[in-house]
Amino acid sequence: MNTLGKILFYSMIGLILVFLAIIILFFALAFSGSSSDVLSSNTKPVGNLGVDELLSCYLNPDNFQEALSQVTVTWEKKDLNGLVYLYESGAPNLKDQAAEFKGRTQLFSEAVTTGNGSLLLRSVRRSDEGEYTCTISSSSVGGKVTIHLRTAAFSAATFTMSNSTLVAEASRWFPKPNVTWTNQTGNELNGSTLFTEGSDGIFSVVSTLQAVNVGDAYNCRIENNLVTADAEAIVTGGGVLGRTFFTFSVASSLLASVYLNIVTCVVCIYCMT
């Protein structure tokens, strides 16, 4: 390798290391958002439209040993005119609460003295999506955590069987999902799916799979960019046994896009060396 080649080679290696460092830093910043004293069990929850959602926020129990006094819990939402919720001096103080959250939020007074400031948000709406900040302060410890609430509609699938045709129905999905059928060995099958959009923009899903066999197991996966439902069905002589497992996306599409672009650049640079 000549001198110029060596220079180019080591320059490219240096650029690759820089890109990797950027990736690590980007994800570290994206998934942080809490002080060490205040935590959340889920900083990127997906709220089911029309269903209550608990936004988790609590003091790190390692940092105090006794019941707390003079606890204040403040919930705020980015770009909101007013507060989501304020708890101080042993009671709610809702005089500055934003109109869209009136009658829809609750803290649990008995839990606040133990450092738990989790917020119950009733009947989640699409407009609830956004960035929330929970701040807890007491006589001894305090801090804040940022929570990014995302909203979707999702429901479990129910199965019926008729004339060797297996039917999966799910009544509420948003955004519009994709549906995939597989057999018990993971091979994709040819199913047929009908989507019906309601006046509220939420889709109902009816998907059919023909020529199924008694005794076999099938999986109907319903998924969008936020939620995946794996509905398992076992066909028996007397009907269908079904169950559904939900999983939720962790990284936002923005993070995934940035990560993909950086990795692509790294690969291209590596290929040029």
DSSP conformation letters of 226-257? SEEEEEEEEEETTEEEEEEEEEE--S-HHHHH
- Cβ atoms of 204 and 129 within 8 Å: the answer is no
| Beta strand 142-152 pairing with 46-48 | parallel
- Name the residue ranges covered by the structural domains of the chain: 38-152, 158-248
| CA atoms within a 13 Å half-sphere pointing along the CA-CB vector of 145 | 26
Per-residue pLDDT of the chain (273 residues; tens, 9 = 90+): 566 555 655 566 666 666 555 555 444 444 444 456 899 999 999 999 999 999 999 998 887 766 677 899 999 999 999 999 999 999 999 999 999 999 999 999 999 988 999 999 999 999 999 999 999 998 788 899 999 999 999 999 999 999 999 999 999 999 999 999 999 999 999 999 999 999 999 999 999 999 999 999 999 999 999 999 999 999 998 889 999 999 999 864 333 333 333 333 333 333 334
Closest CA to 153 of 201, 105, 220: 201
Which residues contact residue 161 at a Cβ distance below 8 angstroms, ignoring those fewer than 6 apart? 167, 212, 235, 239, 240
Instruction: Determine the 3-state secondary structure of 137 from DSSP.
Output: strand
Class of domain 158-248 as given by CATH: mainly beta
pLDDT of residue 211: 94
Residue 263 token pair: 């990795």
Measure the CA–CA gap between 166 and 208, rounded to whole angstroms: 6
CA dihedral 183, 188, 189, 191 (to 10 degrees): 110
Class of domain 38-152 as given by CATH: mainly beta
Same topology between domain 38-152 and domain 158-248: yes
State the Rg of the chain over Cα. 25
Measure the CA–CA gap between 187 and 76, rounded to whole angstroms: 47
